[in-house]
Structures are given as structure tokens and as C-alpha cells.
Structure 1
Amino acid sequence: MSAVIVTGTDTGIGKTVFSAGLVQALGATYWKPVQSGLEEETDSDTVARLTGCPCLPEAYRLSLPASPHLSAAREGVVIEPGALDLPQTAGPLVVEGAGGALVPLREGFTFADQMARWQAPVIIVARTGLGTINHSLMTIEALRQRGVPILGIAFVGDEVADSQGIICRMGQLRSLGRLPRLALLTCEALAAAFRAIDLTAIREAL
């Protein structure tokens, strides 16, 4: 079994869409270990709709659309790291984190800490807009402090060459490419846009 983890520098930046594109390109299985918010389409629902690929059930399904530690506390649930061990799959597994890397799963334990337990290669997804340099470099630093193996960084949004370049140079991290915002989000449109992503580097890491 080979797994790759997709984390983000923030919430709402296109991490789920990127994960769906990666699942589709690799013919992989998708897993969202912790889902906070069940009223609208969940991330697993979105990936299944866009790819038709298998999606494993979440380890924790929490109703409140908030940080996992708060959602869990409201429901009297404690998220246990041992319940988040990577599942066995026949082919590649794409795992999507919740929000940004330092989102707490429980008091004193973040998603970055869980990624350190997994020791699987991580792709950081970052937006290209204002503020991304700070958020991206802090995410890189937080993961490296925990010994998390980082495969590279992928950008989502309009081309901003200076921001993308300085993040990669200062973070000493390779760019995996940029996924544009898609006006019409369909399976076909996502597959076409994902050709801009460096799948060779990703496959080599798996």
C-alpha cells in the first residue's frame, strides 16, 4: 500500500478539488479521516461525484462545521490518534486532512502531529492570493519541525509567479504545479486541468 497525504495552508483553498484530481489521475482510493460538517455535501461526496473512485468511510463524522477538536467536543467525542491509522488498500491511497496542517484534532494534538505518526509523503496545497507566502512558509516549517516528509507544494488559483517562486526557494521545496480555479467543475474539466500537475514526481514518491 502506498499513501500520499494532502494538507493545506488554510481552509477553503481548493484542497478537496486537488485531492479529487489526484485520486482521478492515480486511480486511487480516497480517505478523509475526519469530517467536520455534515449538512452540505461532504468532501468524500465531492470526490466520489467528481471521480467515481472508491472513498473509504471517515473514521469520525462530526456534525458541526468547525475545527475537529470543537466539533468532537460538542458531540462528546475524543479523536484518538490510534483510530486514524492508515487503512490498507490494494492501490494508491490519497488522504485529505482537515483544514490547515495545525488544525487541532484534540487538545494538544494537531493534524501535523498525526502526519508525523503516518510518515507518508505530504503534498501541501496553497492558494496563490495575498497572504500565501506567510501561510505556506509557516506550514512548511511546522511540518519539518515534526519530521514530516514533504513531497512538494501545489498551488491553486491564478498564476502569481513571484509568490510561487519565493515560497519554493525559501521553503526549499519543489513546485508540483498549479491548478487553476475552474468555472465549471466537472470530471472532464478537472482531468484536463490536472495535466499541469507534476504527476511523475508524485508517482515516484509512491
Structure 2
Amino acid sequence: MAAPIFITGIGTGIGKTLVAAIITEALQADYWKPVQAGFSEGTDTEWVAERITNTKTCFHPEVYKLKLPASPHIAAREEGITIRLGAIIDALPDSGQGLIVEGAGGLLVPLNDQEFVADLVLALGAKVVLVSRNYLGSINHSLLTADVCRSRGIDVAGWVFNDQYGDYEADIARWTGLPVLGSIPFSGCCDRNFILNEAKQIAPALIKLL
């Protein structure tokens, strides 16, 4: 099986799930979010599944589905459990058509008292797509995220930028030395048509680099 593609970002609320849906559609790959923290308004898996049009994608169940919308280690603690990397690795789907894995928050979000999302990326042997949303302060957050990848030896495919505020994208790509895979415009209606259209736009860059 090819290495999973892990979707992570420079923080929370920056569009990881949207980008995960677009890349899943573009590659007609399977989708998996192993750790879901908070689902009172539905899970990320449900959100993506509602917006995928191809018939090949399979949606794999969460390993940890936690009620509290908080850092996973805190949400798990509230339920009296500990997130174990081994349990996630053991549940890794055997997908012959590629697997998109969506993380929780950013790379240094704790999964338990000792391990972070970055440790999960390495344990999966995944190639990372970094999601950056353009906002005041996103340059700093983006460069810090890229530094974490370098220091930990994480394999990065490139950036996907989300929303359009300012003109940061070229500078972030230049300073980090990582390519731009795509730029997603802001939309107030991220429906199936929007996902499909953006998937068509980003597919050539993904196929070339991944």
C-alpha cells in the first residue's frame, strides 16, 4: 500500500476538513479520521462523506470518537481512556486506492501525556499536506509548522492555502522551501459542487507530487 497522505494544519479551524475532502475527491482515495474530538454537530467523517461525489471512496470509522471538543488528550481523559498510538496503527485501513488521513488540530496537539500528532504522522509513515489559512499571524504559524516538520524528519508534499487574505502564499512557500499544491478560495457554500470543482483544479499538482 502506498504511504498515507496526512492532512494537518497550522492550527485549529483553518480548513483541514475542507482540504481533506477536496484531496479525497481529487484522488478518489479512502478517508480516515482516527481521532475525533467533539461531534455534537456531526463528525468530520460525516461532513466529508456528504460532499464526495465519486463512488470509489470508502470512509473508515474513527478509532477514538470523543465527546468533548478539546485537545484529544483532554477529551480522552474526560472519558477515562488514554489514546494509544499502537491502537491507531493496528486499525490502519488497508486501502489499495490510497488513504487520506485527517489529523486533529496541528502537529503539536497532544494525543496523550507523551505523544503528539507529529508522532502519529511518523508512526504511519505518512506524507504530509500542510494546510494554511490566510489570516493575520498565519506567516508565523506556517513557518513554525514547517520547522517542526524539518526538525522531526516529517515528509512534506507541500502547502494547500485556504481563504484569501493578504498576499502571504508566495512568501511562505519561499521561506519554507515547500511547494504550493493549491489555493482554495473562500466560499460561503462548501457543497458537493464546490468540492468537486476544487478537486479538479488541484488534481494535476497532487498527481505530480504525491
| Structure 1 runs, 4 residues or longer, greater than 4 Å off | none
Work out whether residues 36 and 66 of structure 1, in 8 Å CA contact, stay in contact via their aligned partners in 2: yes
Look up the match of 2:134: 128
Q: Does 1:75 align with 2:76?
A: no
Look up the match of 2:195: 190
Look up the match of 2:162: 156
Does the residue aligned with 1:183 lie in a helix, a strand or coil?
Answer: coil
Q: How far 1:205 moved relative to its partner?
A: 4.6
Look up the match of 1:10: 11
Work out whether residues 179 and 196 of structure 1, in 8 Å CA contact, stay in contact via their aligned partners in 2: no
Look up the match of 1:47: 48
* CA–CA separation in structure 2 for the residues paired with 1:78 and 1:104: 11
Work out whether residues 182 and 205 of structure 2, in 8 Å CA contact, stay in contact via their aligned partners in 1: no
* CA–CA separation in structure 1 for the residues paired with 2:80 and 2:9: 27
Does the residue aligned with 1:125 lie in a helix, a strand or coil?
Answer: strand
1:135-174 aligned at under 5 Å gives the runs 135-158=141-164, 160-161=166-167, 163-174=168-179
Look up the match of 2:121: 115
* CA–CA separation in structure 1 for the residues paired with 2:117 and 2:29: 22
Give the direction of change, closer, same or farther, for the CA distance of 1:36–1:105 in structure 2 (3 Å limit). Answer: same
TM-score normalised by structure 2 residue count:
0.92
What runs of 5+ residues in structure 2 fail to find an aligned partner?
Answer: none
Equivalenced residue count is: 204
Work out whether residues 135 and 165 of structure 2, in 8 Å CA contact, stay in contact via their aligned partners in 1: no
* CA–CA separation in structure 2 for the residues paired with 1:204 and 1:118: 22
What runs of 5+ residues in structure 1 fail to find an aligned partner?
Answer: none
TM-score normalised by structure 1 residue count:
0.94
